[in-house]
Amino acid sequence: MSRASEQAYAKIRSHLMSAALKPGEQLTEDQLAQITGVSRTPVREAVRRLEDELLLVRSDTKRLFVADWSRDDIEEMFALRQMLECHAAERAAQRLSREQIADLEAINRALKDAIELLEPDVVRFLDANRAFHDVIIDAAHSPRLGQLLGRLVEAPVVLRTARTYSPEDLRQSARDHDELIAAFAARDPDWARAVMGSHLRRAFHTFAKTVGPPAPRYGNGKP
């Protein structure tokens, strides 16, 4: 991407993460060009990248919207992410270097600093959380796994989940990270898998509380 396209991508993504743009909100290229301060051509390139990351979606009529997923979409996303990230944690427990474990400790300290402010900084929390999980994915040494998770981890559901967290939820996320680091230091793949699984299920249920119960499911023509 060109420098202008990278600038547009970074600014639009920042707006999405800061809740300046709401799920389901319609966008136009002119609006995004004003937000980013660049012309429509680099905006189009940035939008294509954000569509690939599932942060923006197009309707059948080609109108552009901030992604807004259903409860079923969200539940499936978490299920897929749990399967993949548990596998990544299991692999990483046997492969993380001491330097990478030290990186995880430093990143989690930065995450704790962000959430212990008088008003927790959710954007900084998300940046640190993404960096933490990126180290684990990199240490798993599986390019295919990294490509799949790269789209899931940055999905709108992740952003929306973080915004629903209470201060205690945010602190629990940091504690989960501490336990993951302990599992990695012990080179225990089973422990790492278990902690990652509970970490992601907790995140799902935190989000689920804000969207209500799932829609009724029907089979054989009967409720």
Chain segment 161-213, per-residue pLDDT in tens: 566 778 898 999 999 999 999 999 999 999 999 999 999 999 888 877 766 55
- Residue 218 falls within a domain, yes or no? no
CA–CA gap between residue 9 and residue 5 (Å, rounded) = 6
CB neighbours (10 Å) of residue 14? 13
Residue 58 sits in the same domain as residue 114 = no
Number of domains in the chain: 2
Query: Helical H runs in 140-188?
Result: 143-153, 156-164, 167-185
Residue 187 sits in the same domain as residue 152 = yes
Residue 35 sits in the same domain as residue 84 = no
> Is pLDDT of 104 > 60?
yes
- Residue 221 falls within a domain, yes or no? no
Residue 120 sits in the same domain as residue 52 = no
Range of the domain at 141: 71-211
- Residue 57 falls within a domain, yes or no? yes
CA–CA gap between residue 138 and residue 153 (Å, rounded) = 14
pLDDT, tens only, 61-100: 999 998 877 777 778 888 898 999 999 999 999 999 999 9
pLDDT band at 18 (very low <50, low <70, confident <90, very high): low
Residue 13 sits in the same domain as residue 47 = yes
CATH number of the CATH domain containing 15: 1.10.10.10
Residue 62 sits in the same domain as residue 97 = no
Q: At CB < 8 A and 24+ separation, what contacts does 202-205 make?
A: 202/172, 202/173, 202/176, 203/78, 203/161, 203/173, 204/74, 204/75, 204/78, 204/161
CATH number of the CATH domain containing 143: 1.20.120.530
CA–CA gap between residue 20 and residue 5 (Å, rounded) = 20
Residue 29 sits in the same domain as residue 105 = no
